[in-house]
Amino acid sequence: MAHALEPIRIGTVQLKNRIVFPSMCVFFCDAEGYINDVMTEYVRERARGGVGLLIIPGSPHGKVGPGRPALSHNGYIPGWKRLADVAHEHGAKLFCQLHPAKFQAGRGYTIEDINDFTPEYIRGLIDSYAACAARARRAGVDGVEIHGAHAHEVAQFLSPFYNRRQDEYGGSTERRARFAAEIVRGIKRETGADYPLIFRISGDELVEGGRRIEETAAIAGLLEKAGADAIHVSCGMPESEYAISAPMDMEDLFNADNAARVKAAVSIPVIAVNRITDMEEADAVIRSGKADLVAMARANLADPNMIAKYEGRVAGPVRRCIGCNQGCRDAALYKKIRCMQNARLGFETTLNFAAATEAEKAQKILIAGAGPAGLEAAYDLTLRGFRPLVYERESKPGGLINLAALPPQKERMREITNFRVAALEEAGIAIQYGSEVTPELLERERPDVLIVATGSVAAIPPIPGIDGENVVTADELLSGRKPLRGSHIVVLGGGLVGCEAADYLAAAGRRVEIVEMTDKLADGLNQSRRRFLLKRLSEHGVAAHLLTKAERVALPEVRVCSQNYSYALEGVDGVVVAAGRSPQDRLSAWAKEHLPGTRVFVIGDAGRPGVALDAIHQGARVAAQI
């Protein structure tokens, strides 16, 4: 770990190590963009965990939108001073990313077309960036980063994909880089040459007509000449958004070579980012000379103590990011980002897992089920000093996670189970495998608290013939509990489970057709992961019948109906049913009737079938309130 933990300078600022927590849009601030307690504790948690540099976005041009921080007038300075003080308290440095989020192409944020900006308007924008940087310095923030990636305002000028200007700000590489270079020089004039400045840029925009790494390396040299103190090499743009926060479907370290190309073109430090998932990978990037620092956002969201654990300051296994992108990239679903692995993200002020009193610890807590919800509840209870009894009907933990990890590119899902089981083992909690919780067991144990986390079962729609030969559920297929014969398979249901079952079958060489009632496959899956899933289905020739319902299964025929037109899928060997799930709770009603002194909680799919993220968060909240 020596390389990643070595100190380094960016301009005049010394960092204690080479791990950067890069800017992310987390939506934790108040509606006007002011720093609040939620944002402050979010920063504190990562600074305390050992990050050398934290970069937090701040709009230079005014309020951007609810939850997004701004630094566009002096009224915002006190909040930023709080963030700087919190970072410094734990030996970290804080930079403000000058983040003009309302100016972003490809997402409907762009208010004006950069090709129509007048020279006077451009000068006003440059002044806005410089004034924001000056406010950051007055707030005690250690430096700034210009966001020149991902099709934001500055990035649009740099990109041949967007920039069609015919004046001094468009055309050649040098002219397209002029706006960025003038911002760098304007900031240095306003703040002083000694105030550190990082420039973030997409190494490769990954679209036809976009900028490639060769030109980015040349631009990096121009930015160094303008006064930049470091280059932060990201990738992608909204048209290639799948790569901006690469999901589990992409290789780790895939962007490190782009950082190396930029590093060869400049003499200032270079930061690598994207799919650097643990400290071993971070150390490898730095040791190889491809970059001087590494930025790890999602890894530090999942486990803010990741660095401290590697340093030996904090005990326990590392809670690894799995690259699901479900909570951090789908923030619009939740109004602020969340994390599959870390239920406390964004709730650091309220979800504290406070130590239980001795009287509270005396309670007998019984957890039925060691799937994601039950494991999370058990783990969080141990953090508070409880010693829950955990029962699992199957011979191993994980519940549906065991099946979710089987389709292509899904093996990282096992980290959900691995972390929690390892943490429980360290706490001395033994899961009772092969032990189903029954009313008889509850009568014998008479727990003070019962947490029902018994999951769900596959729902079977009322379709004639669905109970016939060679018809299996997705659960039965993936678990191998029931064989599926033949080469031509129809999957009933094109949600996530159905599409992943089709992916699993197609990868094994089967011919697959999907029947889906809606007009979209894998609806609800985040766009980065959905892109790769649909791409694999297409490459394997999986056919999709959308806006279509199954009417009858009578192999070798499956009768379907599409918009009042009925037809048959012929030559079908087998059918997979992926038509939703039903709760499996045989305990809560009995316990409430027969054990009136027992507090009963139902979490995860046992209460309402959904996604693992919600199940894990429910487990955490129950553990916090006992």
pLDDT confidence of residue 142: 99
pLDDT tens per residue, range 20-38: 999 999 999 999 999 999 9
Q: What's the pLDDT tens digit per position in 137-154?
A: 999 999 999 999 999 899
pLDDT band at 294 (very low <50, low <70, confident <90, very high): very high
pLDDT at 192: 98
Task: Tell me: pLDDT of 333 over 90.
Answer: no
Please report the pLDDT score of residue 415 as a whole number.
98
Provide the pLDDT for residue 335. Answer: 80
What are the C-alpha distances in Å from 256 to residues 138, 245, 429, 488, 569?
35, 14, 40, 42, 47
- Check whether 105 has a pLDDT greater than 70: no
Question: By the 8 A CB rule, do 534 and 522 touch?
Answer: yes
Q: For position 63, what pLDDT does the model report?
A: 80
CA–CA separation, 473 vs 144, rounded Å? 54
The backbone region for 560, taken as left when phi is positive above 0, alpha when psi lies in -120 to 50, beta otherwise, is beta
Task: Summarize the confidence of residues 209-225 as an average pLDDT.
Answer: 98
Asked if 231 contacts 220 with a C-beta cutoff of 8 angstroms, the reply is yes
What does the pLDDT look like over 228-248, one tens digit per residue? 999 999 999 989 989 999 999
Banded model confidence at residue 39, pLDDT cuts 50, 70, 90:
very high
Check residues 538 and 239 and name the one with the higher pLDDT.
538
Over residues 260-270, the pLDDT tens digits come to 999 999 999 99
User: In this model, does residue 110 exceed pLDDT 70?
Assistant: no
Statement: residue 107 has pLDDT above 60: no
What is the pTM for the complete model shown?
A: 0.94
**Does the fold of domain 471-579 match that of domain 8-333?**
no
CATH 3.50.50.60 fits 471-579, yes or no: yes
Please give the sequence-ordered ranges of beta strands (E in DSSP) within 149-213, or none if there are none.
197-202
CATH 3.30.830.10 fits 358-458+583-625, yes or no: no
User: In this model, does residue 289 exceed pLDDT 60?
Assistant: yes
Alpha helices in 317-400 (DSSP H): 358-361, 372-383
Rounded mean pLDDT, 557-585 = 96
For position 556, what pLDDT does the model report?
98
Give the lowest-confidence range in 95-104, 202-211, 265-274, 351-360. 95-104
Position 611 scores a pLDDT of: 95
| Mean pLDDT, rounded, for 67-75 | 95
In this prediction, residue 104 carries a pLDDT of 52
pLDDT in tens, 160-185: 999 999 999 999 999 999 999 999 99
Check residue 563 and give its pLDDT: 84
Instruction: Assign 334 a pLDDT band (cuts: 50, 70, 90).
Output: low
- Written in H, E and C, the secondary structure of 461-477 is CCCCCCCCCCEEEHHHH
Domain spans in the chain, listed from the N-terminal domain onward: 8-333, 358-458+583-625, 471-579
Within 10 A of 538 (CB to CB), how many other CB atoms are there? 11
Amino acid 352: pLDDT = 84
Question: Which contiguous run of DSSP H or E holds residue 514?
Answer: strand 511-515
Predicted pLDDT at 2 = 78
Summarize the confidence of residues 461-466 as an average pLDDT: 98
Asked if pLDDT for residue 102 goes beyond 80, the answer is: no
Q: How large is the average pLDDT for residues 302-314? A: 97
Total residues found in the chain within this entry: 626
Residue-averaged pLDDT of the chain = 96
Q: Given this model, what pLDDT does residue 564 score? A: 80
CATH superfamily of 8-333: Aldolase class I (3.20.20.70)
Query: Which pLDDT value is given to residue 550?
Result: 98
Residue 331 has pLDDT above 80, yes or no: no
What is the reported pLDDT for 124?
A: 96
Q: Residue 608: is it exposed, middle or buried by C-beta count within 10 angstroms (0-12/13-18/19+)?
A: middle
pLDDT tens digits for 481-491?
Answer: 999 999 999 99
Q: Residue 410: is it exposed, middle or buried by C-beta count within 10 angstroms (0-12/13-18/19+)?
A: buried
How do 456-458 and 471-473 pair as beta strands? unpaired
